[in-house]
Every structure is written in C-alpha cells, then in structure tokens.
Amino acid sequence: MAARAFWSGYLKLSLVTCPVAMMPVRRDSGALHFHTLNRRTGHRVLSRYVDALDGRPVADDDQVLGYPRDEESYVLLEDAELDAVALDSTHTIDVTQFVPAGQVGLVWYDTPHFLLPNDPVGAEAFAVIRAAMAAGNMVGISRLVLYRRERAVLLEPRDRGMVLWTLHYGNEVRDAADYFAPAEDGYGRAEMGLLQKLIDRQSRPWDPDMLDDPVREKLLEMIAARHRGRRRAKAGAAPAPGGQVVSIMDALRASLEETGGDESGKGKRRKRS
C-alpha cells in the first residue's frame, strides 16, 4: 500500500508548473521505539523545560530562542522576526539551476524523498522535465522549506519519478583536504593484485538484503523472551583476535584462503593445510 504524501505543492521550471507530491524514502515501520520509564513505578517519564538556575518549569509562552552573545548573555529572537527572514518556498520547488549529476559529491546528500506528479493534468509537464534532465544527465538545484527550516535541495530523475534530496549547506561539510593527506604509492604490484583478487571474489550484484539489521533482530528476540516471562541468555564474549599478521601480503593470502570456494565468494571456506 502506497504511503500518503506528507508534502504537496508545485514544481516550477521557468514558466512550466505542475502539481507534485512528496514522501520520505525511509519508512519508520520497522524502527523500534522505546519510552523512558520510572524503574520504581513503571510509569512513563515526561520531559519538561526548566530554568537552568532556579529549576522552575518554564511555560510555552515564556520560551524564546536566543543566540549566544557571550558566556552570560544572548540575543533574543522572536518568532515573528524569524518568520520575516524565511523563504516563500514553502509550497513551490522553483528550479533555477542545473548541474551535471556527477559533480555533486555524496557527502553533500542528506535525506531522500520520492517526488511524483500529483495531478493527471500536470503529469505530462512533470514527465517532460524529468526526461529532459535524464537525457542530459543533469540534476536540479533549488530551495524549499521542509521540517520547519529552509533547505537546499537536489532533484534527481529516477525511473518514472524523481528523488528530491535535502542537501547539507556549505558551512556544514568539512573540507576533506584538511583531513585526507595526499595518497602515497607505498604498495607494490603484488599486494595490489592480491587485493583486487580478494575484491573480485567478494563482489556480487546489489541486494537490499545486504543491509540487514542484526541489532534489531537481537532486540526483538530479547523483547519476545521477556514478554514470555524469561530472560534471554547473555551473549557470549566475542572471540579474542588472533596474533598480529606479519605483513600485508600474509594478511591478503590468509584472506583469500578464507574466502576460497566458488568465485562468487559464497562458497564454504577451505580448510588450511
């Protein structure tokens, strides 16, 4: 069953406009949610804003946003002042820039959403925009108010719809050059050959099942055991790591032996001689 759209508005490209709807790609149906409880009474614990100095609860009408001016004072900003600088892009995705898809690095991508036409009359305009972007391998850049704040967004044509990604702002992403030192070719051809063979042996077609969540499964097992009135046995200690490998060549050869079997990497491990 298709999820209901959490946002609806318009996609605009120059004088072409069409109604669209959007929903997050990620679904929360499989997520585990916990409540904080009072261990003594079993009742839920509620969070409340209190004054940091006198500890008294602060009513909603007395709460205001403040920007630190120094260690002891703040610049107070009222809701009306914040609304005055907000964009008028709450309901329109106005695409004014396009860039080659490959030029936007993955570190800039934040949260994906499915974007699709929301009216049969505008479906043709949406399809033409999507097809033209796909033909040129281009993505669109725009701005939109989502989750109560202005965000830069990227539109990527995908199948019969688009994926709208919220993007990190420039000041939110660290410069990789500050952390990644220039690469050094301190390896030999033999090591490279063994490593490429190891990668080839462990390569296989993409399957979403690769991204299973073992922690979630263990939590569900533990919750079910508690619900049945018994405690789940504690997990055994992790096996101690083996001795240190003398060299990368030894490690690569040992890795190839452990992943031996059929070339797909799915075969059983071969016994060492």
By CB atoms closer than 10 A (0-12, 13-18, 19+), residue 104 is middle
pLDDT at 1: 44
Residues contacting 249, CB < 8 A, separation 6+: 190, 191, 194
Q: What pLDDT, on a 0 to 100 scale, did the predictor assign at position 58?
A: 92
Question: Residues in the chain, how many?
Answer: 273
pTM of the model: 0.64
Residues in Cβ contact with 4 at an 8 Å cutoff, skipping those fewer than 6 apart: 23
Mean of the pLDDT values across residues 145-151? 80
Tell whether the model's pLDDT for residue 15 goes beyond 50. Answer: yes
CA distances for 126 relative to 5, 171, 268, angstroms? 17, 32, 50
Q: What is the pLDDT of residue 216?
A: 72
Q: What's the mean pLDDT in 183-195?
A: 74
pLDDT digits (tens, 9 = 90+) for 53-71: 898 999 988 998 888 888 8
User: Mean per-residue pLDDT for 122-140?
Assistant: 93
Q: Model confidence at 174, in pLDDT bands (50, 70, 90)? A: confident
Residue 185 pLDDT more than 80?
no
When pLDDT is cut at 50, 70 and 90, the band that residue 88 belongs to is low
Q: Taking the CA of residue 176 as centre, how many other CA atoms within 13 Å lie in the half-sphere pointing to its CB?
A: 7
Q: What is the pLDDT of residue 264?
A: 44
The residues with which 203 forms a beta bridge, in sequence order, are none
Q: What integer best gives the mean pLDDT of the chain?
A: 80
Supply the pLDDT for residue 136: 93
Higher pLDDT: 26 or 12? It is: 12
Q: How confident is the model at residue 215 (pLDDT cuts 50, 70, 90)?
A: confident
